[in-house]
């Protein structure tokens, strides 16, 4: 496979540019990977990127304030919806008119925003580790309903970890913190490999050139993200990946998201998957994505 190609693209915000990386045949349909909050594009494992590049021109990128993209928030605070604009900026900058979107966590939120606001740019969407941008209730098989606001929240252990102040005690201590965080996010159904995640974060730190996270995405304005009607009206093919061990968007959030999207999105379960991408889930996740992008 040809060596990945790196390119910077400009956003709508003056002076803000994004690091992007492409791999695979550029004549194949584009597939854009959208990572979660505070996460560099290197959070998408090489093994997964290569598997998807067998059929697609795969693109991953660094959000603002992550990786090698512009650290922008301190100079000019932005809204999370602005990060959805960055998705189309990446497509524009790389000359990709439409793309398959794959979004994890905040990336799944941004993919929903693009799906609703710019459906002309989306071939398909695959969403996981995320909650529906909809206030519509979850309708159960017996006809009873659960309000969206009453669906399960984030695991208290994750909330406690997020509430802990990040103190600079050096790079190794920061790697310890990140591995501890991944251990919680990964859930308890797949054996946890701390060295796998430590190596991942070492590569992120080397790529970024710094190890203290900015926290910008947690501080960004989260208003204006409800897309109840637009989600229900979408006709773009959507796949929701059910991660049964996800402590951030636990079941039945995936079923709710599938139900409120376009009259019923496809739903597939990756056994043991949590809010992370350890090796055991990569092959089944790649199969699910590729099966979806191949169409009916």
Please state the rounded mean pLDDT for residues 230-257.
Answer: 97
- Say if residue 296's pLDDT is above 80: no
Of 40, 69, 105, 134, the active-site residue reads 105
What pLDDT, on the 0 to 100 scale, is given for residue 264?
A: 76
Q: Which residues of 76-102 are buried (b: 16+ CB within 10 A; e: fewer)?
A: eebebbbbbbbbbbbbebbebebbbbb
Q: Which domain holds residue 230?
A: 5-293
Residue 126 gets which letter from DSSP? E
Active site residue 223: no
- Give Cα separations from 68 to 6, 45, 251 (angstroms): 11, 17, 34
Active site residue 105: yes
Of 246, 253, 256, 292, the active-site residue reads 246
What pLDDT, on the 0 to 100 scale, is given for residue 21?
A: 98
Cβ neighbours around 151 below 10 Å, total: 18
Domain count, the chain: 1
Share of the chain above pLDDT 90, in %: 94
- Say if residue 295's pLDDT is above 90: no
Active site residue 134: no
| Per-residue pLDDT tens over the stretch 50-69 | 999 999 999 999 999 999 99
| Per-residue pLDDT tens over the stretch 92-150 | 999 999 999 999 999 999 999 999 999 999 999 999 999 999 999 999 999 999 999 99
What pLDDT, on the 0 to 100 scale, is given for residue 167?
A: 86
What pLDDT, on the 0 to 100 scale, is given for residue 110?
A: 98
| Per-residue pLDDT tens over the stretch 247-281 | 999 999 999 999 999 977 999 999 999 999 999 99
Q: Give phi and psi for 108, each to the nearest 5.
A: -70, -35
Q: At what angle do helices 171-185 and 156-163 cross, to 10 degrees?
A: 160
Q: What's the CATH number where 21 sits?
A: 3.40.50.1820
């Amino acid at each position: 496979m040809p060596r990945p190609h790196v390119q910077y693209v400009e956003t709508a915000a003056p002076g803000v540019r994004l690091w992007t990386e492409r791999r695979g045949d550029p004549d194949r349909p584009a597939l854009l990977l959208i990572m979660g909050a505070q996460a560099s594009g290197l959070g998408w494992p090489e093994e997964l990127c290569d598997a998807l590049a067998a059929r697609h021109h795969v693109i991953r990128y660094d959000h603002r304030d992550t990786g090698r993209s512009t650290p922008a928030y301190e100079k000019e605070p932005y809204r999370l919806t602005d990060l959805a604009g960055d998705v189309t900026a990446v497509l524009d900058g790389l000359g990709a008119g439409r793309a398959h979107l794959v979004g994890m966590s905040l990336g799944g939120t941004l993919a929903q925003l693009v799906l609703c606001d710019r459906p002309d740019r989306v071939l398909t969407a695959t969403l996981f580790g995320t909650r529906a941008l909809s206030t519509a209730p979850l309708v159960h098989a017996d006809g009873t309903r659960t309000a969206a606001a009453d669906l399960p929240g984030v695991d208290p252990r994750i909330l406690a970890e997020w509430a802990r102040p990040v103190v600079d005690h050096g790079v190794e201590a920061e790697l310890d913190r990140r591995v501890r965080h991944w251990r919680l996010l990964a859930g308890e159904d797949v054996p946890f490999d701390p060295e796998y995640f430590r190596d991942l974060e070492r590569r992120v730190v080397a790529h970024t050139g710094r190890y203290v996270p900015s926290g910008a995405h947690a501080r960004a304005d989260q208003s204006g993200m409800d897309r109840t009607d637009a989600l229900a009206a979408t006709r773009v093919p959507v796949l929701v990946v059910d991660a049964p061990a996800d402590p951030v968007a636990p079941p039945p959030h995936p079923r709710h998201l599938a139900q409120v999207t376009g009259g019923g999105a496809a739903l597939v379960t990756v056994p043991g998957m949590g809010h992370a991408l350890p090796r055991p889930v990569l092959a089944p996740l790649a199969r699910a994505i590729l099966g979806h992008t191949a169409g009916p």
